[in-house]
Amino acid sequence: MEIKKAGIIGLGLIGGSIAKCLKNRLGVETIAALNRNEDVLTEAYNEGVIDQYSTDDCSIFTGCDIVFICTPVSLITSYCEKLIPFIEKNCIITDVGSTKGKLYDNMKPFVNNFIYIGGHPMTGSEKSRYSASKEHLFENAYYILAPAENVSGEYVEFFKDITIKMGAIPVIVSPYEHDYITASISHVPQIIASALCNNVKKLDTPKEYMHQLAAGGFKDITRIASSNADMWESICFENKEQILNVLSSLEEVVSGLKTALLNNDSSSVYNYFDEAHKYRDSFSNVTPGSFVKRYEISIDVLDKPGSIAIITVLLSSNNINIKNMSIVNNRERENGVLNVSFDSEEQRAKSIELLQSMNYEVHKKD
């Protein structure tokens, strides 16, 4: 199997990034895109990312081998119905929705008309428009696949291979398991980040000192609260049952700490933070999760032009491949401000030796 023609419905951050991946990394000949705003479509067309486009005509997807629906979850099923007259039964229909169970239930009446494999790339940005899209958005990110029950292993493996070529790490789960997982690690954290912002806004002093001083840890932990409100309203109702279950569990955890404080139970308070610390550290050197191990270091560098460039040139000139690099904006609990990860312990050890020989302060992260 191969992709000669692909379709994208919804050319925003995710849809645009998928289109760029398909065109540049998989070499797809023809990409058709549908989007409500024509200016986005003409921009992508002029860039050579897409080859056909429309704001409302689904006939452009005739002959597609795969169609990615990158719209809010509430619109996915209706677009699937609109596609049926124009696609073959062996066309793969996938989506990028962050909920799967309810969507899968709604999709059941139509799954004999196409190959349905639910998808959820676990990546993104606070920005949602096509202008923010990038070919490398999916690199080293989970891409969850939730295929319908009637989908053969051949098609699942084919789509899995597509995500790998996009740079992602595919993980296959059932639609319902997906929703339980994402409620715990994505949806409720979003609710918490927004709750923290709303709470500080409510508690702030008349001179707004909290707003002024909310840098460092608070700013980092609430970063995702900048995400689109329409999208999260939809997610909360699409995954309502699992979110409520996870929120109930969270209430028990927080209530336990509150009780320990009321009872002056210092041992329980210590354990509360110590268990979280140990659990957090258990995956801090793995990117992402247990599927691909990364070997990390942190480097203390000065904030001045060329600092990062010097380090990258030093490592690359010694044949050390940097797998990932990130800047730490909060020094409160970190030994360095530049995190760098490698594929092997050998490369990490070699990088530490080189950097220390240049008088950098380097910390091994385990």
Q: Which of 133, 91, 135 is nearest to 110 (CA)?
A: 91
The pLDDT score that the predictor gives to residue 111 is: 85
Using CA atoms, how far apart are residues 137 and 16, in angstroms rounded to an integer?
Answer: 10
Using CA atoms, how far apart are residues 339 and 332, in angstroms rounded to an integer?
Answer: 15
Using CA atoms, how far apart are residues 102 and 124, in angstroms rounded to an integer?
Answer: 22
Residue ranges and CATH numbers for the domains of the chain are: 5-173 (3.40.50.720), 178-282 (1.10.3660.10), 295-365 (3.30.70.260)
Provide the pairing of β-strand 169-172 with 295-300. Answer: unpaired
The pLDDT score that the predictor gives to residue 331 is: 40
The pLDDT score that the predictor gives to residue 184 is: 94
- Yes or no: say if 283 and 289 are a contact pair by the CB < 8 Å rule: yes
pTM given for the model: 0.71
Using CA atoms, how far apart are residues 68 and 20, in angstroms rounded to an integer?
Answer: 13
Residues contacting residue 175 through CB under 8 Å, at least 6 positions apart: 100, 101, 103, 104, 118, 146
Eight-state DSSP code of residue 93: E
- Yes or no: say if 4 and 26 are a contact pair by the CB < 8 Å rule: no
Which tokens go with 360?
């950098």
- Yes or no: say if 236 and 194 are a contact pair by the CB < 8 Å rule: no
Amino acid type, 144: I
The pLDDT score that the predictor gives to residue 139 is: 83
Residue-level pLDDT, tens digit, the chain, 366 residues: 789 999 999 999 999 999 999 999 999 999 999 999 999 999 999 999 999 999 999 999 999 999 999 998 889 999 999 999 999 999 999 999 888 998 999 998 988 899 999 999 988 765 668 888 899 888 878 899 999 888 999 999 999 999 999 989 899 999 999 999 999 988 999 999 999 999 999 999 999 889 888 877 788 788 888 877 877 888 899 899 999 999 999 999 999 999 999 999 999 999 999 999 888 877 655 444 445 566 888 888 876 788 888 999 999 999 998 888 877 644 433 444 688 988 888 999 999 999 999 888 888 876
Neighbour count for residue 115 (Cβ, 10 Å):
25
Residues contacting residue 131 through CB under 8 Å, at least 6 positions apart: 43
Which tokens go with 332?
């409160």
Using CA atoms, how far apart are residues 222 and 65, in angstroms rounded to an integer?
Answer: 40
- Yes or no: say if 130 and 43 are a contact pair by the CB < 8 Å rule: yes
Which tokens go with 125?
């940005």
The separation between CA 126 and the C-alpha centre of its own chain, rounded to angstroms, equals 11
The pLDDT score that the predictor gives to residue 127 is: 62
